[in-house]
Structure 1
Amino acid sequence: MSERADAVRMRGIAKHFGSVQALRGADFSCAPGEIHALLGENGAGKSTLMQVLFGLVKRDAGTIELAGWPAVIDSPVDAMAAGIGMVHQHFTQVARMSVAENVALGGPGLRFNRGAAAELVRRVGRETGLALDPDTRAGDLPVGLRQRLEIVKALARDARVLILDEPTAALTPQEVNDLFAALGRLRSSGAAIVLITHKLREVLVLADRVTVLRRGAMVVTGEAGRFGAAELARAMIGDAAAPADLAEALEVATLDAPDVGARPAGPALEVRELRVRRPGTRRFAVEGVSLTVAAGEIVGIAAVEGNGQRELMRAVAGLLPHDGSVVVRCDGTVGFVPEDRHGEGLILDLTLSENLALGAAHGLWLDRRRFEHAAALATEEYGIHAGDATQPVRQLSGGNQQKVVLAREIARRPVLLVAENPTRGLDVHAMAEVHARLRAAARRDELGVLVYSTDLDEVLALADRVGVMLGGRWSWVPETSWTREA
């Protein structure tokens, strides 16, 4: 054993899911006091490799060492006992329970000590800057704070190897800065941190080392300072002939400029003096908002979490009661792409074709062959990587799951599409594809799109017009002021 062994070392990890080979002899290691970024396109095997380390997935072959010693990890219980924590991209919380109760779940002892659990939440908050109210129900937290709860749960168990799967996907810029500061403190304390991300700028700012997976195998690894964004993007995609500015071409911040020449054909949506109460309270989250979205137009919402944008979008989609007027052009419907694709966008145990058929069937009988044929067409058109139309969507990567939601909602030919964080957790290539689909549907089908993203660069890249929400009120941003600072 070496004098300073890696905190974790994985060698030759292989895993099959039926006919799909998810991992092909993958290697990975992470040292104490290091942030190691794990990159790759959606479906490259990043999450699967870390799920093997956390005991969620049993490997077919390969070895795992912790601190230089062979380790047997057959379950998350084994992993947590060994000091491994995992922050999942999709929440593992009980929505009806409080923050403190969620943190205590799975902990030692048979009885719940509310005071001790609350103090644990406060202590982790003080030490890391990730403060939460221990008495708030998890389901009442906005997405950014629910993501924070996932991190606090792992840290509360004294994890020394911390795996974070797309931790910034739903965070505001300020929350990202807070998270980075917390990770820096953890690194200084000697924790080994694995950061699964698609955001190349995060890697270049934060990571000490980087590994790129492609098709289940390691293709690049080394000190992060050795690589530029373009080189990492080429390694992810596998295109050696790609231009030097490929990374910039794929980054959300520099996607094609908004098509300001779009010629809307009339209103798809008209909102007048809309007021929406915050769920479970008597307070208004939306106060007297008026706006229009024209057919063929993409309207973006820029806001910090908690300023009423979520309630606005869900009222427009018909999911929350409201005062005031919401008028959608009478000859169509409203499509909805939720930010939580697992909880609200998909039924994970149904097949690809069944998920694409949700909302499209009428009557008591389903023509399964017709839906499977339609699913095959959608799979080809949207580039959904799946074995066939009968594959459960649970087995698809996050990017392919998002494409399923988007394909289904656009296929319904709505007049208006409401999209919350439409590229959450997607790699830069998949982001560009989703953006292209939204633009094409808007221009070709005269679809009105109302979109919100925690990534301000995405809002500026996509939108024809941008509105800001602050304190539940709406104001339009002049086109000449479209900058991150504004």
Structure 2
Amino acid sequence: MTSATGRTALELRGVTKRFGTATALDGASLVVRAGTLHAVLGENGAGKTTLMRVAFGMLRPDAGEILVEGTPRRLTSPADAIAAGVGMVHQHFTIVPAMTVAENVALGGRGRYDAAAAAARVRAVAERTGLALDPAAVAGSLGVAAQQRLEIVKALARDARTLILDEPTAVLTPAESRELLGWLRTFVDDGHTVVLVTHRLRDALAFADDVTVLRRGRTAGALGTADATEARLAELVLGEPPPPPAPRGAAAPGAVVARAVGLRVVDARGVERVRGATLEVRAGEILGLAAVEGAGQHELLRALAGRTAASAGTLERPERAGFIPEDRHRDALLLDASLTENVALHGAGARRGLVPWRALGRRTADLLARFDVRAPGPRASARSLSGGNQQKLVVARELAADATPPPLLVAENPTRGLDVRATAAVHERLRAARDAGAAVVVHSTDLDEVLALADRVVAMYGGRVTDVPADREAVGRAMLGLDADPQLDRADRV
């Protein structure tokens, strides 16, 4: 870990920020030592992203002071922050998909665009930092991890000395997350400064030098990771000792609710992702689907939920199914619509063409309270919520829209981006749906989460599904295809 430098890279003192009658930050403070990796923790809606947007000049505080490298600054725009040596990688990427890597890096710069100079700049930053990128590649064709590397290169190409990353691992697989965090640690050890916004306590303990915890817009604590424990950080985040894990409960599987036999599904590009998958899901059980990225799990889950048609094979599923998708912005929310309108997407209960908006508003308010979705009210836009609260809204809509759960519930990374308390609440709701008789299918990139939730586990590799014991080693081998029959792959290539 980096030793104390005695210098301050970034400091925010007594920052207050209000949005109408809602107070997002209430005198919050942050001190980041130069040459360190500083983690910012907090529950969803605690004010983490708002504080970082103030530090990057995206939001003007109603009160408080900002110091960059010890000098008071008035940051009225991101351009001011960039000029002061502060860069930011946002949770939701800001790249232009149709442009090349070099064009994205040059975008927003001054002067006339010089393609050769832009490409040389990308190569120079990539070589210096070890972030491999092809300047000529079209940004939209890159994978998620490569798009994130592009966002980092954009910031570093503008000579950022302090780099802020807002929930960078929320969109990454576990392997990609470890790679990114390892790179950040090396980057800091080379003398740079990083502010890492995260909800993952273990990542903060493993990679950060210092931690600041926000709770309901205020600074709840600041300490070095050498003096911290996971239990201590959890208590600071929650404001109380973390509750013990909820009892797992026993499944009582009933009739088959969904069955796939020899199922084949192609993706939007015409590539076959599900290749002869066979499985069944029963009422009153949670089926855990374990898979590494690219195994075909996304297409299989969407087919089970009725969102994608099969190209071959048979699929029996109930007409009504709940679906918690992986990408809430693309598949679950209308960001500029109100929370009430988003809840109405599940079924507005219209009669004679009239939507009962008052009743829907009351129902939305009830969901916000029951699922602890922190929002000004039902009329707020979905875009105004933090990422974690957006996810809680989606979960609330799917799991509490009716007195009884749907016969089939498909959940893909349902706790991605959620804090400790919200994750526990989602797990409880999924188990409650199972206990009420629903057939629940859960996929998570976190294998520990799959094993903790599932009554039965299947693994997916190469587009096929295999029943496996709920044992870490057995599931891991099946996910990597170590026990797969090579004859099947050869047959598909013929």
TM-score normalised according to structure 2 size = 0.87
Letter in 1 for 2:338: T
- State the distance in 2 between where 1:6 and 1:175 align: 30
Measure how far apart 1:211 and its partner are.
0.8
Could you tell me which residue of structure 1 aligns to residue 210 of structure 2? 209
Q: Equivalent residues in 2 for 1:149-298 (5 A)?
A: 149-239=150-240, 242=241, 246=242, 249=244, 255-256=245-246, 258-259=248-249, 261-280=250-269, 282-298=270-286
Deviates more, 1:161-170 or 1:334-343: 334-343
Measure how far apart 1:100 and its partner are.
4.3
The alpha-carbon distance between structure 1 residues 464 and 116, as it changes in their structure 2 partners (threshold 3 A), is: farther
The alpha-carbon distance between structure 1 residues 471 and 128, as it changes in their structure 2 partners (threshold 3 A), is: farther
Among candidates 95, 98, 119, match of residue 93 of structure 1: 95
- State the distance in 2 between where 1:116 and 1:316 align: 49
Deviates more, 1:164-173 or 1:34-43: 164-173
- State the distance in 1 between where 2:374 and 2:120 align: 45
The alpha-carbon distance between structure 1 residues 158 and 326, as it changes in their structure 2 partners (threshold 3 A), is: farther
Q: Deviations over 1:225-279 (max 9, x none)?
A: 111111111111112xx3xxx38x4xxxxx45754x3122222221222222343
Measure how far apart 1:12 and its partner are.
1.1
Measure how far apart 1:430 and its partner are.
0.9
Among candidates 313, 327, 334, match of residue 340 of structure 1: 327
Letter in 1 for 2:178: N
Measure how far apart 1:381 and its partner are.
2.4
Q: Equivalent residues in 2 for 1:51-450 (5 A)?
A: 51-111=53-113, 113=115, 117=118, 120-121=121-122, 123-132=124-133, 134=135, 137-239=138-240, 242=241, 246=242, 249=244, 255-256=245-246, 258-259=248-249, 261-280=250-269, 282-325=270-313, 327-330=315-318, 332-361=319-348, 362=350, 364-410=353-399, 411=401, 413-444=405-436, 446-450=437-441
- State the distance in 2 between where 1:156 and 1:484 align: 42
The alpha-carbon distance between structure 1 residues 129 and 428, as it changes in their structure 2 partners (threshold 3 A), is: farther
- State the distance in 2 between where 1:86 and 1:474 align: 40
Please tell me whether the aligned partners of residues 130 and 179 of structure 1 are also in contact (alpha carbons under 8 angstroms): no
Letter in 2 for 1:366: V
Measure how far apart 1:210 and its partner are.
0.8
Please tell me whether the aligned partners of residues 103 and 121 of structure 1 are also in contact (alpha carbons under 8 angstroms): yes
The alpha-carbon distance between structure 1 residues 153 and 479, as it changes in their structure 2 partners (threshold 3 A), is: same
5+ residue gaps, structure 1, are: 250-254
User: What secondary structure, in the 3-state scheme, does the structure 2 residue paired with 1:169 have?
Assistant: helix
- State the distance in 2 between where 1:165 and 1:383 align: 22
The alpha-carbon distance between structure 1 residues 135 and 336, as it changes in their structure 2 partners (threshold 3 A), is: farther
Measure how far apart 1:33 and its partner are.
1.2
Could you tell me which residue of structure 2 aligns to residue 459 of structure 1? 450
Letter in 1 for 2:310: H
Deviates more, 1:200-209 or 1:461-470: 461-470
Please tell me whether the aligned partners of residues 276 and 313 of structure 2 are also in contact (alpha carbons under 8 angstroms): no
- State the distance in 2 between where 1:125 and 1:258 align: 47
Deviates more, 1:144-153 or 1:159-168: 144-153
Letter in 1 for 2:10: V
- State the distance in 1 between where 2:105 and 2:259 align: 43
Please tell me whether the aligned partners of residues 316 and 326 of structure 1 are also in contact (alpha carbons under 8 angstroms): no
- State the distance in 2 between where 1:54 and 1:312 align: 40
The alpha-carbon distance between structure 1 residues 22 and 335, as it changes in their structure 2 partners (threshold 3 A), is: same
Could you tell me which residue of structure 1 aligns to residue 45 of structure 2? 43
Q: Deviations over 1:321-361 (max 9, x none)?
A: 4312453444x322222222233321222222111111313
- State the distance in 1 between where 2:474 and 2:246 align: 15
The alpha-carbon distance between structure 1 residues 329 and 469, as it changes in their structure 2 partners (threshold 3 A), is: closer
User: What secondary structure, in the 3-state scheme, does the structure 1 residue paired with 2:74 have?
Assistant: coil
Could you tell me which residue of structure 2 aligns to residue 11 of structure 1? 13
TM-score normalised according to structure 1 size = 0.88
Question: Paired residues, what number?
Answer: 468
Deviates more, 1:383-392 or 1:25-34: 383-392
Measure how far apart 1:432 and its partner are.
0.7
- State the distance in 1 between where 2:93 and 2:143 align: 12
Measure how far apart 1:454 and its partner are.
1.8
The alpha-carbon distance between structure 1 residues 218 and 123, as it changes in their structure 2 partners (threshold 3 A), is: same
- State the distance in 2 between where 1:143 and 1:336 align: 22
Letter in 2 for 1:479: A
The alpha-carbon distance between structure 1 residues 477 and 176, as it changes in their structure 2 partners (threshold 3 A), is: same
User: What secondary structure, in the 3-state scheme, does the structure 2 residue paired with 1:30 have?
Assistant: strand
- State the distance in 2 between where 1:277 and 1:229 align: 43
**Percent identity for Structure 1 against Structure 2:** 50
Letter in 1 for 2:289: I
Measure how far apart 1:140 and its partner are.
4.6
- State the distance in 2 between where 1:118 and 1:266 align: 59
Measure how far apart 1:61 and its partner are.
0.7
- State the distance in 1 between where 2:247 and 2:177 align: 25
Measure how far apart 1:157 and its partner are.
3.0
CA RMSD of aligned residues (A): 2.5
Measure how far apart 1:124 and its partner are.
4.4
Measure how far apart 1:466 and its partner are.
2.0
Could you tell me which residue of structure 2 aligns to residue 252 of structure 1? none
Could you tell me which residue of structure 2 aligns to residue 474 of structure 1? 465
Measure how far apart 1:285 and its partner are.
2.1
Please tell me whether the aligned partners of residues 55 and 76 of structure 1 are also in contact (alpha carbons under 8 angstroms): yes
User: What secondary structure, in the 3-state scheme, does the structure 1 residue paired with 2:171 have?
Assistant: coil
Measure how far apart 1:453 and its partner are.
1.7
The alpha-carbon distance between structure 1 residues 96 and 334, as it changes in their structure 2 partners (threshold 3 A), is: farther
Deviates more, 1:133-142 or 1:91-100: 133-142
- State the distance in 1 between where 2:300 and 2:265 align: 7
Deviates more, 1:450-459 or 1:315-324: 315-324
The alpha-carbon distance between structure 1 residues 95 and 334, as it changes in their structure 2 partners (threshold 3 A), is: farther
Measure how far apart 1:376 and its partner are.
2.1
Q: Equivalent residues in 2 for 1:14-25 (5 A)?
A: 14-25=16-27
Measure how far apart 1:293 and its partner are.
1.7
Please tell me whether the aligned partners of residues 468 and 474 of structure 2 are also in contact (alpha carbons under 8 angstroms): no
